[in-house]
Amino acid sequence: MLDGEPLVRWRWLGDHLGYLADLTADHAVIALVPVLLGLLLAVPLGLACARFPRLYQPLAAVFNVVYALPSLAVFVVLIPYTGLATRETVMVPLTCYALAVLLPTAVDGLRAVPEPVRQAAAAMGYGPWRRLAAVELPASVPYLIGGLRVAAVSSISLAAVGALVGRGGLGYLFVDGFQRTFPTPILAGIALVALLALATDLLLVAARRVLAPWARGVAR
């Protein structure tokens, strides 16, 4: 940044609105698809852990170790298998990170159904699958959405690191601004990441209110 230069070049932002929109869309795909995949894996794994409690601690320990691994190091390790500058290099670790967050919430949600409720459903003729669809999964929605909020915001933040291996959505703005000593892209990237995280969180809060209006105080 040169002396006397403004912190933000508004003209640059105006000239690059399409570019910024494309990076934001790419960032949303890279960050949020892994969260959806993590959810699709967390529900059956959570169901298995709820049915067979001995599975939970080993699985949770494995995913906790994965979550503790530095994201950039994992990206680099995957490059020989998934390629440089590919979405998969970033999305595979993000899916594992999301699963590490969502598995405990899925288990907690499925365990939250009181046993008398399960017994009442069985007495009404509900088989295991019908009871799961009509009783257990709806009861776990507040917990799952609480986990989704954490996983989504974390994934949106971590996805920017992918720019260092050639695929990071809004992370390009940080790299570009740093290399050119030009703060405008960096500040734009920070603002857009924050707005994307806020919009995603608000959408999930709205989804919880629609899907589980009875659970005002659960998993906030």
Task: Sketch the domain layout of the chain as residue ranges.
Answer: 10-211
Alpha-carbon gap, residue 136 to 64, rounded angstroms: 25
Q: Are 89 and 71 in contact (CB under 8 A)?
A: no
Q: Is the pLDDT reported for residue 38 higher than 90?
A: yes
Digit-coded pLDDT (tens) for 105-137:
999 888 877 777 777 777 777 777 777 777 778
Alpha-carbon gap, residue 174 to 197, rounded angstroms: 17
Q: What is the CATH number of domain 10-211?
A: 1.10.3720.10
For residue 126, give the DSSP letter. -
H helix intervals, the chain: 10-15, 17-51, 56-68, 71-82, 87-111, 115-123, 128-131, 137-159, 171-179, 183-211
**What is the pLDDT, as a whole number, of residue 212?**
78
